[in-house]
Amino acid sequence: MNRWLLAGMVLLLGVGLGLRAPALRLRPMHNDEGVNAMNFRRLYVTNDYKYNPDEFHGPTLPYLTLPDVWLQGGGDFNEFTEATYRSVTVAFGLGLILLLLLLAADFGRAQTLWAAALTALSPAMVFYSRYYIHEMLLVFFTAWTFICCWRCANSGRAAWAVAGGIGLGLMYATKETFVLALAAMVLAAGTSALWRRWRDGGAPGFQPRWNWRQVFAALTAAAVTAAVFFSSFFTNSAGPLDALRTYLPWLRRASGATTHVHPWNFYFERLLFFHVRGGPIWSEGFIVALALAGFIGAVRGRLLLLRLIAFYTFWLTLIYTVLPYKTPWCLLGFYHGMILLAGAGAVLLWRACRPAWLKTAAALALAAGVAHLAWQSYRSNFAADSSGVPYFDSAKNPYVYSQTLPDALRLVFTVEALAHVSAQGYGTVMEVMTPESYWPLPWYLRRFTNVGYWDNIPHPPPVPIGSVPIMIVSTELHAAFDEGPDKTHLMAGYFALRPQVFLELYVQTNLWAAYVKTLPPEKD
């Protein structure tokens, strides 16, 4: 392997790590992250994790969290922090950079380094590498599968076919939307063949060296891998069937039976020009522009690998644009294709600039684009606006979506302090009542052993309301538990769980009195 390529990749891995790994606990857990962490609890603590076809996506995330936790020394689930979980996706985000080494021989060294740099610096890639959800794993396994298939077709070696099959199985076992990436790959292969026939006529082209035995081996590897994960390592016989059944609920969601319906330009707004009043302008237009150059170069040129990437990206972008179900992290799939194209586009642009002055201008433009990406990545994860609100928790950030607010942590600290003075400690009874999603509270309240979760005020309550020491209630329910004639509770404060989702904390007056005694005296 070329030592400059290796040195460049090591440097870029360092850059990627520098943006991804620090201060992983800064951002409060998103509700999906809370769900995923508690799913991991079922695997790690109670050992009863089973794939759920209706919710929560595939089993790779909890299972691949296990080695990460073991590497960190294992220990008590309750002591795991946000960083414990997010280091899993950080690893896959870095792995996505490393994977490019497998493409370098056919993609080109300079193109590979550019693609690695843009992956390392892209604000979207950085932000969601620090996010304990399935998306980064899916993008990694998709890239792995694509690369292995390409190398198998190139070399004819069965090992690549099996590796590609394992990748496909892992894609399947990661997230239901893998079918979209798979469809885009198939469409890309077909479109590429048609394009070659139309554009290149009868000119001899690439002759893939795979055979049907390799296809069989790949599909077997995919099926076995998926079955291993979906069956929870052969302990849940219903898992593999559930892996097929899952497409009924997810098809309903994809067609719009969900709250996550957004217009067609949802992803483009975030990638090209995102501006909320009072916030900065965000744009990864630099990458998209280079990707466009790469796309043009791909369809006009003869490099099949680049053409496959171009058509794959085109189809996947189209699919995600057309689907009404949209969450911002879903853009990672097609955006990774854009980043690869942008790597090729940067080199094309550089080579197209012949005169020295034009090359200088191109170098300056590329350097400015890279610096802008790096600055935005830093800002979106570590900086705050002029009023002190961190961008990782602000609607001014294009990648923040239904994010838990820091105020929720204030609630958790208060409840923890109440448990500290309660005779029952973490066994103190607590009821959480909210028609909105209460996640990620179950993860934050994981040490409590007697917590009930309700989507309304239960009638009749399982225990008399007056005897429940702590109640966390949505303001939408107008509970007014502090207005009873016997004044059993006081309302200790409002806490914003997410934007426009407010919770009231009701505390039994005697428990509150014990808590108040622990407070430091207030200064005038």
d(CA 136, CA 36): 14
Q: Which is nearer to another protein, 76 or 524 (CB)?
A: 524
Min. distance of Cβ 512 from another protein in angstroms? Answer: 6
d(CA 246, CA 178): 13
Min. distance of Cβ 504 from another protein in angstroms? Answer: 8
Min. distance of Cβ 509 from another protein in angstroms? Answer: 6
Angle, in degrees to the nearest 10, between helices 406-421 and 509-517 = 90
Min. distance of Cβ 358 from another protein in angstroms? Answer: 51
Min. distance of Cβ 106 from another protein in angstroms? Answer: 57
Q: Which is nearer to another protein, 238 or 395 (CB)?
A: 395
Phi, psi torsion values for 468, nearest 5 degrees: -90, 120
Q: Which is nearer to another protein, 193 or 491 (CB)?
A: 491
d(CA 496, CA 409): 10
CA distances from 504 to 408, 452, 490 (A): 11, 16, 10
Min. distance of Cβ 485 from another protein in angstroms? Answer: 12
Residues in contact with another protein by CB under 8 A are 482, 487, 489-494, 496, 509, 512-513, 516, 519, 521-522, 524
Min. distance of Cβ 318 from another protein in angstroms? Answer: 43
Cis amide bond preceding 460, omega within 30: yes
Could you tell me which of 383, 437, 131 has the C-alpha nearest to residue 259?
437
Whether residue 373 contacts residue 286, with contact meaning beta carbons closer than 8 Å, is answered with yes
Whether residue 406 contacts residue 429, with contact meaning beta carbons closer than 8 Å, is answered with no
Q: Which is nearer to another protein, 467 or 509 (CB)?
A: 509
Burial of 388 (0-12, 13-18, 19+ CB in 10 A): exposed
**Residue 67, number of CB atoms within 10 A of its CB:** 11
Min. distance of Cβ 400 from another protein in angstroms? Answer: 19
For the record, the structure tokens of 283 come out as 């744009």
Strands 501-508 and 470-474: antiparallel
Could you tell me which of 170, 6, 30 has the C-alpha nearest to residue 499?
30
d(CA 432, CA 414): 15
Residues 6+ apart with CB under 8 A from 98: 9, 13
For the record, the structure tokens of 252 come out as 């309903």
DSSP 103: T
Q: Which is nearer to another protein, 243 or 473 (CB)?
A: 473
Min. distance of Cβ 412 from another protein in angstroms? Answer: 17
Q: Which is nearer to another protein, 348 or 511 (CB)?
A: 511
Q: Which is nearer to another protein, 327 or 475 (CB)?
A: 475
Min. distance of Cβ 361 from another protein in angstroms? Answer: 46
Q: Which is nearer to another protein, 172 or 512 (CB)?
A: 512
DSSP 425: G
**Side chain identity at 471, as an amino acid letter?**
M
For the record, the structure tokens of 290 come out as 């280079």
Q: Which is nearer to another protein, 460 or 521 (CB)?
A: 521
Q: Which is nearer to another protein, 99 or 492 (CB)?
A: 492
Min. distance of Cβ 250 from another protein in angstroms? Answer: 38
Min. distance of Cβ 519 from another protein in angstroms? Answer: 6
Q: Which is nearer to another protein, 287 or 492 (CB)?
A: 492
Could you tell me which of 514, 479, 511, 515 has the C-alpha nearest to residue 494?
479
Burial of 76 (0-12, 13-18, 19+ CB in 10 A): exposed
- 498 three-state secondary structure: strand
Q: Which is nearer to another protein, 73 or 521 (CB)?
A: 521
d(CA 120, CA 12): 7
